[in-house]
Structures are given as C-alpha cells and as structure tokens.
Amino acid sequence: MRRLLPALTGAALFAATGLAALATPNVASAADCTPAQVVANGGFESGGSSWSAPSGAITADTGQSAHSGSSYAWLDGYGSSHTDTLSQSVTLPAGCGTATLGFWLHVDTAETTGSTAYDKLTVKLGSTTLATYSNLDAKAGYVHRTLDVSAFAGQSVTLAFTGVEDASLQTSFVLDDVTLDVSGGGTSPQPGDPTRTPAAPTYTVGLTSDSSGGSWTGHESVTFTNASPDPLNEVYLRLWDNAHGSCPSTPITVTNVTGGTPSPLTVNCTALKITLPAPLAQGQSGTVAFDLGITVPSGADRFGHDGAYNFLGNALPVLAIRDAAGWHLDPYTNNGESFYSVAADFAVTLDHPSSLLVPATGTSVDTPGTAGRTVTKATASKVRDFAWGAGPFTKISGTSAAGVKVNVYSVAGISAADSQSMLSTATSAVDVHAQRFGAYPYGELDAVLDNNFWFGGMEYPGFVLDLVSTTALTHEIGHQWWYGIVGDDEYNGPWLDEAFTDYATDLALGKTGNGCWNSVSWASSAERITNSMAYWDANSSRYSTVVYGYGKCALHDLRRTIGDSAMTTLLRNYAQAHWYGVSTTAEFKAAAQAATTVDLGSFWSQHRIDG
C-alpha cells in the first residue's frame, strides 16, 4: 500500500527513464524445469557447427583474440559498407520461467567520434530487437552482456547478431562464449527455506453477484502439494477481509467444507484451520473445497465500495504458508500488508450484471450469461493473489511498446484527460520496470482509479488500485515485481517489497537519491529498516518514513557503494533467481555481498538492515 505522492505526467515518466522499450511476447505457463544452456557451440570451438555465418566470420585468426579457447566470431571490420549476420535457431523450454542470453562482446573501432553511432551491432531473438551496440561501445577488451529473454519460454526462435558498417573507418564486433540459460520453472521453495509449503496451489472459483456487484456467492476449491519433508496434517485458509468485520459477524463466510475438517475461526476470524483426512507426505497432493460468500462493506478501500464501485482485494480465501518458523498466522494490518503466499494458478468465473465492468487479475474473457448478465472468466498463472472490481466504470485500453495490454478503469469524477494520462503512465512504467528486472509475465494489467482512496494505491498481481498520481501508479506497477513476481513475507519483512519498489520508482522517474541518507534521523535504538509490521503498527507514524524513505535511500547508497553497473546486475539477477519465489533479507544480503569485493558488514550495520 502506498500513501499519496505528487503527480507527474505519463509523458514525463517516459522521458525521465531514458529507456527504449523491449518488445516481448507473453511468458508461457511454467511447469517443472530442468536448468539448461540451449545455445549450441557458443564458444565457436567447433567452427561453424550450428551457426549460420558469412565465410570467415567464425575464426581463430590472430587479428582478434578469443575470450576463451581459440575461436570466436568476427563481424564487420572492413572499413566499408558491409553487413554480417551470425544466427542460430534456439528452443526455450515452455516449463522454464527464467531465460538469460549472455555473450562476451569486444568492440574495436577506428572511428574517432564520441557521440555518433556510425557502425551498429543488433541483437535479435525472432523479430524482437533485444539490444543494439555501436562504435561508441568500443573497449580495450571483452565485456560480458546479459539480456533477459524469459518472455520467449516455449518458443523456437532465431537468435541473430547483425553488424552493419558504414562506408568508412572500420568497426569490428567480436563475439565469444554465447549462452542462453533457462531455469526457474515452478513454485518450489527457494534454497533458503526448503520447508515452505503448501506449494503449487491451483484455485478454481465460481461466483455470482447480486445486482450491485457488492455481494457474491459460489464455490471455491484449492489443490496443493506438500513440498516439505515433514508431513502436512492441516492447512490454514486466510480470510483476510474478515478483519473489516466484527468477529464473528464477518463479510467472508466459508461453509460446507470438503477435503478436511474445519475448526473455529481464529486470529480475529481471519484464519481457518482445516485438518486433512490423513497426513500428506512430501510430494503428495490434496484438495479442499467450500461454499463462499462475500459481502463488500462501505468505504473506498482495498476491500470496500465507493458508491456503486466495488473493490475486492484479498476477498478470496488463500492458503497460509508453513516454513521453518511454523505456520504464518499473523494478524491483518491496515497500516501496510500482512500477506505472504506462494505463486499459484487461478481460474475464476464471475457471473454479474452486464451493466457492470469487472476488472480482474489475469486475462479475462467475457461471454453472455443469462438475460442481462455477463460471465467474466479470468485466468492467471503464477500469481500470489487474485483481486477484482465491479461497477459502472469507464474503461480505456492501450498496449505498451513491449506488447503488454493495459486497461484503465475510472470511477465517475475522473476526467477523460486524467484517465488518458494514467494510461500513458501505466504503459510506460510497465516497460521501464520490465527492462530493469525482467519481462512482465502476465500479459495484461488493469489499473482501477478512484481519487477517494485514502491509502493512495494498492497492488495485486495484474491489478492495481490507485489515485490519479503518476508517482503512485509507477510505484504500484513496480510492485508487480517486488511482491508479485519476487515474493516476500510482507508482515515480517515489509521493506523487501516497499523499499525495493520505491527505489525502482525513483529509477523510473530519473531520481538518483543523492543525499537522501543525510536526512535520516532514527527515533530510537530499536528502529530498523527491517522491522516487522508488529513494530510498525505500534509505531505507525514512522512506518512510511523508515520502510519507504530510509529503505530506498539505503538501496541508493548500496548502488553508490558497489557501483551502478554492479547494482543493476545484482537486482536483475536477484529477481531472476527468485522469479515466482520468495525473497528474504538474508538472501538479498548474501547476493549483494557476492556482487562486490567491498566488505558490506559495516554498510548493513550503518543502515540498520538486520537479518
């Protein structure tokens, strides 16, 4: 959740980033993945085997040198108009959610300009241009380049390097050790906690609304697997929105449970224990199902209605996590978030009056229902939650330069100009974040606007609630990566999504964070960036200042400590390593230390980052 921030125009956001859009198709649904390297003969030691290349381009000539071994690919270098293309067909397995193209590039040029790109090397996968280099990238030796190509999972495409030289002054593009590594298929626990379970949930939901879209009834089932070596005797459902009621009178009701025996609600009616018929051993699966009722309370909230407009964030019961610390049954917090879940698949059918638009997580398809009604079927793969809205919204749509469909839904009172500005912001922001951390995998993004939201903005996978504010919307879209794709325990480690997202927002808006740590003033010796929501609920006036403000300033300082390039690589690689997984402070600190020769011990202490 994000407090209200100053607004900028969508055009200002795009101008501030200085980033070109990366056109990528959608990611295929991930399954189990065997990590692999799919480029053949990437070191060119077998000559032209597996490659299509001009005669003499793959060579061991002494005019240039290999990065490793004795052979390499030498494109251009003639000092006259010339084009060389090196290509190979590659297949990326559908089950692997992470794919990284890597290669060593040496650019040698006789050009003397420091500002004009006369000679260019273009890297393409299929019809998509991934990157372009030129005589301006000339260096004395090889530079390792990496590009995220996760969006091409499940495709067979041509990898091509094309060098184009103008009429005078040679530029040589020398390539070696080309790799395309695939990994990261499923939702299996991260190495830091192999006990995290239940894993790989699949939710199937069918709900029918009343005439207003504020009351829903139907059925939900969830199938899951025990990933832990310890038996799974029970599961817990989190009925988060019961915190908005007065227990035991609750807005979320679960009845007629099958697949286990329910116990009375606990944790202010937000936790429902279901004892399984028999313990599940590691690798075994189970299913629980139940009838579900949802009544949306009054209020412009993440779960509430503002007049005719209903917002249903955290309304579907979802499985709690058991890890090395035991079951996570933390209380609901209105100050931030309590949510902690693994990536899951959702298939949700919403039957509603045709007069209502229903933005939702995932990709939606509308079909006619009974007289005067529409059935919206929304499917979402590898998401941590499912949210939707219902009301007489005004909808406009666009597509980002990278091919992400963006829909903006506005309540009455939001001008057409403001809606259009936010659409421009959203289409730009989703591509900017994707270029830094990895391709947006969900294909579609819904932004629901209401200037009555007291909280500024709120993130869900593929679905955000927001005010008309470029900064706030850029932040909430950044949460698609930091909380959504890269998960965390939002109650016990809120900095892992809020600080990282605010840092990403600064980068997207061209803010360097210079000097921001100079304004840090701790309220007490107990105050830490890494404190849990239990601490921040008791010290609520300091939550935003420390977790958002000091947190992002610490990341800016880390960037200055290890260097811009190292920080860029660290965050991209960290996101890829935790794609659809869960981040912890200890894992991030270890990754940061591995990215630099600087001892970061005093850095963590100074910035009060524990864990």
Alpha-carbon 67 to chain mean position: 34
User: How buried is residue 415: exposed, middle or buried, by Cβ count under 10 Å (0-12/13-18/19+)?
Assistant: exposed
Residue 44: both structure tokens together? 């060119």
> Would you say 471 and 509 are in contact if contact means Cβ atoms under 8 Å apart?
yes
* Strands 344-353 and 199-209, sheet pairing: parallel
Residues 111, 220, 337, 476: which is the catalytic one? 476
Give the span between the Cα atoms of 605 and 596, in whole angstroms: 17
Give the span between the Cα atoms of 180 and 26, in whole angstroms: 18
- What are the E-state strand segments in 473-540? none
- What are the E-state strand segments in 166-250? 171-183, 199-209, 215-225, 232-238
Cis status of the peptide bond prior to 248, with omega within 30 of 0: yes
> Would you say 200 and 283 are in contact if contact means Cβ atoms under 8 Å apart?
no
475 is in an annotated binding site: yes
Residue 452: both structure tokens together? 């009555």
Q: What are phi and psi of 491, to 5 degrees?
A: -80, -45
Specify whether 483 is catalytic: no
244 is in an annotated binding site: no
> Would you say 559 and 503 are in contact if contact means Cβ atoms under 8 Å apart?
no
Specify whether 476 is catalytic: yes
- Residue 385 φ/ψ region, left for φ over 0, alpha for ψ in the -120 to 50 degree band, beta for the rest: beta
What residues does 216 pair with on adjacent strands? Answer: 209, 294
Residues 548, 550, 574, 580: which is the catalytic one? 548
The single-letter DSSP state of residue 391 is B
Q: Which residues are annotated as a binding site for Zn(2+)?
A: 475, 479, 498
| Catalytic residue set | 476, 548
